[in-house]
Chain A
Amino acid sequence: MIHLAGPYLLAAALVGLGVFGIAVRRNAVLLLVGVELVLSGALVLLVTTQAAGADRWSAGSVLPLFVITIAAAETVVALAIILTAFRQRSRVDLDEPSGEAP
């Protein structure tokens, strides 16, 4: 027997922490840490549907695998963009105004 309030609270807390991290960080690489936390909150929710016995086609186990793969692909592209921006303007500050690099 398991009470479902725990997983739901964990998912809400992880998404809240992730949004906080996305809003507060000025280093572009650390922005991704917040994104990963939001995605892990989504994973917990998806797996909870399986634990509650309410899923067809094992969606509660298969969809998290898809989410993890897509997150990995997203991280690779995001880091490539950040590193290219760093080579062009030699800083990763998100507060820097757009336009000409100094």
Chain B
Amino acid sequence: MTALDTAFAATALVAVAGGLLAVTTKHVVHAALWLVVALLGVAGSLLVLGAELVALVLVLVYVGAVVVLVLFALMLTRAPIGPDLEHAAGPWRTVGAALLGGAVALLLGSVLLPLAGEPVERADVTSTQVAGQLFGTWVWPFELLSLLLLVALVAALAVSRIPREEQREHHRAEQEVAP
């Protein structure tokens, strides 16, 4: 065990514990907040793996934007303050989901672990190199991403402007009267 291994084990433990609590807690708001802990743990492990830029972007975009959006959506869908009994999963559903998740994790683990082999020297990729590649080799996919973000923005606006059923009928009735 080197220092890097120990640091990685600590951050990975935070990530897995946070993720476990995020998917099992009964309080809906706590689920989003435990996701923050899990993502900070993932960001820490990325830092140990030597990808500072990705860790920083993960904290900024996921913790800063996505979790806040999820919290807003929870408030707007009238999430209860205490335990969410209305959406409680039955015992069989929990057992089935645990089997499914365990099977996926085991399958992935058994495929990936034989690839690990001996300890390797960590390759250091500086942010300067990443920036050079991002605006050189990857510039067209990068530009395409801005288009994707624009499309997502417009689509979200268009979807959320769909009127309610009774409003639509009211509107239709008004139009029929007008001419």
Question: By the criterion CB–CB under 8 Å, are B66 and A75 in contact?
Answer: yes
Question: By the criterion CB–CB under 8 Å, are A75 and B69 in contact?
Answer: yes
A101 to B144, CA, bound (A): 39
Within the complex, which residue of B8, B28, B42, B123 is in contact with A43, where a contact is CB–CB below 8 Å? Answer: B42
Q: Does B89 make an interface contact (CB < 8 A)?
A: yes
In the complex, chain B residues whose CB is within 8 Å of the CB of A76: 69, 152-153, 156
| B136 to A, closest residue via Cβ | A57
Size band of the interface chain A makes with B? 35 or more
In the complex, chain A residues whose CB is within 8 Å of the CB of B149: 69, 72-73
Within the complex, which residue of A11, A20, A43, A77 is in contact with B98, where a contact is CB–CB below 8 Å? Answer: A20
In the complex, chain A residues whose CB is within 8 Å of the CB of B35: 33, 36-37
Determine chain B's interface SS by DSSP, over half rule: helix
Determine chain A's interface SS by DSSP, over half rule: helix
Size band of the interface chain B makes with A? 35 or more
Least distance between B73 CB and chain A CB atoms (Å): 5
Question: By the criterion CB–CB under 8 Å, are B38 and A15 in contact?
Answer: no
Question: By the criterion CB–CB under 8 Å, are B28 and A65 in contact?
Answer: no
| B58 to A, closest residue via Cβ | A68
In the complex, chain A residues whose CB is within 8 Å of the CB of B106: 12, 16
Question: By the criterion CB–CB under 8 Å, are A62 and B70 in contact?
Answer: no
**A57 and B137 contact, Cβ closer than 8 Å, known pairs A2-B8, A36-B62:** yes
Within the complex, which residue of A13, A48, A60, A80 is in contact with B159, where a contact is CB–CB below 8 Å? Answer: A80
In the complex, chain B residues whose CB is within 8 Å of the CB of A62: 130, 133-134, 137-138
A81 to B145, CA, bound (A): 21
Give me the 4 closest cross-chain CB pairs, A-B, nearest first. A16-B105, A20-B101, A53-B123, A21-B23
